[in-house]
Amino acid sequence: MLLIAGVTLIVMAGTHNLRHRQMVMQKAQQSEVQLSPASSGSDPSEDPAAKALLGKPAPSFTLVDLDGKKVSLADYKGHPVVLNFWATYCGPCKLEMPWFQDLQNKYKDKGLVVLGLDQDDGMAVKEVAAASKRVGVTYPILMPDDKVSKSYQLSDYIPETFYVDKSGKIVEQTIGAHSKDELEADVQKAIASGGL
Amino acid sequence: MVAQEIQLGSASGPHKAHVDLLSDAVEVKAGEAQVVELRFRVQDGFHINSHTPKDELLIPTALQLNAASGMKIVDEQYPKGSTFRLPLDKTETLDVYQGEFRVSVRLVAPKGSSTLTGALKYQACDNAVCYPPKTLPVVVAVTGR
């Protein structure tokens, strides 16, 4: 009788220990998942919004350019369009922008349009104009609007770029600075897609 | 342990902070100009512009302090930045703070307990993206002996 009770106690203790170890392991795994992103830099490709609009129609918008003129995405219907979200404080953006200018010049005869959508908060138009001039771009720069940021599901980091084909569909969506070759490959994708 | 988990959890959210204030209390000789070092830490994988970035379009890191009653802020001295190059940039370098950096604040504090308050304004990036300018609240207990 005593032997049976002893064995039962040992089995119960073992089961309890196993459950406890499983709980500890589970908590440790949860902690690991929670803590790892904070110890390293961002990985924008892991953001769920990174490709959220891929394959969907580019949300329409009307914004004002540096001259106060209204510019709508619909104005460029039938053209491949690059929508590059940038800001004056963003070093990686200023690295890419002259490359977008070069690509606009190179693929002008293919109808390529590049639009720079500024994301500075509360910056005067003349300051944005001075910054874009300094960066060396002549393509249209559009002033910010929260509605556009929301419709394009932007995160709080830039640059973010959408490549829209001639039919108005987003064929590529990228976050962060990319090499000129990568930008050109994405531009070519937009040019090649959506033909009528 | 709980406080640490909450802090790190918030840092993985979409509007995370990238700089922590490491100093929370200092002791000084009361009634005399004294230099105290405020310690900050830029989180791993990120950098912020130094107080004197090379490009005028970049936003400098700046500490704005409020003088509490009986306390006088004389001046602030910022550390030199380190040279940083974006992986894709073959020509230009940036002047940044990474890891821990210290701002020296010369102040005159009254005897007893007072609080130094203010904000650190900074703008963070990593190798590929940049985040909007942010403000880190600064609250440091000052004891004048």
- C-alpha separations of A53 from A44, A56, A95 in Å: 15, 5, 25
Task: Give the tens place of pLDDT for each residue, A58-71.
Answer: 999 999 999 999 99
| Topology of the domain comprising A44-192 | Glutaredoxin (3.40.30)
> Could you tell me the pLDDT band of residue B15, with boundaries at 50, 70 and 90?
low
Tell which of A42, A137, A158, A161 to mutate to test the B interface (max B CBs under 10 Å): A42
Q: Which residue of B has its CA nearest to A39?
A: B44
Confidence band of A51 (pLDDT split at 50, 70, 90): confident
- Model confidence band, residue B82 (pLDDT cutoffs 50, 70, 90): very high
Domains along chain B with CATH numbers: 19-144 (2.60.40.1250)
Q: Is B5 on the interface with A (CB under 8 A)?
A: yes
| CB pair distance less than 8 Å for A88 and B57 | yes
- Give tens-digit pLDDT for B90-132: 888 999 999 999 999 999 999 999 999 999 999 999 999 999 9
Catalytic positions of A, please?
Answer: 93
A179 chain-B contacts, CB cut-off 8 A: 88
Beta bridge partners of B103: B38
- Residue A191 tokens, joined: 């040019």
What is the pTM for the complete model shown? 0.80
- Please give the single-letter amino acid code of residue B66: N
Task: Assign B36 a pLDDT band (cuts: 50, 70, 90).
Answer: very high
> Which uninterrupted H or E stretch holds A147?
helix A146-151
Nearest CB neighbour to A42, from listed B86, B123, B126? B126
Q: How confident is the model at residue A47 (pLDDT cuts 50, 70, 90)?
A: low
Q: Is A81 exposed, middle or buried (0-12, 13-18, 19+ CB in 10 A)?
A: buried
**Helix (H), strand (E) at residue A76:** none
Of A39, A87, A92, the CB nearest to B128: A92
Q: Cβ–Cβ of A95/B59 closer than 8 Å?
A: no
| Interacting residues of A124 by C-beta distance below 8 A, sequence separation 6+ | none
Asked if B46's CB is within 8 angstroms of A41's CB, the reply is: yes
pLDDT greater than 60 at residue B66: yes
Whether the pLDDT of residue B12 is over 50: the answer is no
List all residues 6 or more positions away from A191 whose beta carbon is below 8 Å from its beta carbon: A80, A107, A110, A111, A112, A165
Distance from CA of A174 to the nearest CA of B (A): 11
CA distance B28 to B15: 36
Q: Which residues of B touch A42 (CB under 8 A)?
A: 45-46, 126, 128-129
Q: How much is the mean pLDDT over chain A?
A: 82
Q: Residue B90's CB: how many other CB atoms inside 10 A? A: 8
Q: Is B12 on the interface with A (CB under 8 A)?
A: yes
B14, B130, B89, B49: which is closest to A88 by C-alpha? B130
**Residue A88 pLDDT:** 96
Q: Does B3 touch chain A (CB under 8 A)?
A: no
Rg (alpha carbons) of chain B, rounded to whole number:
17
The ipTM is: 0.82
What per-residue confidence (pLDDT) applies to A44? Answer: 58
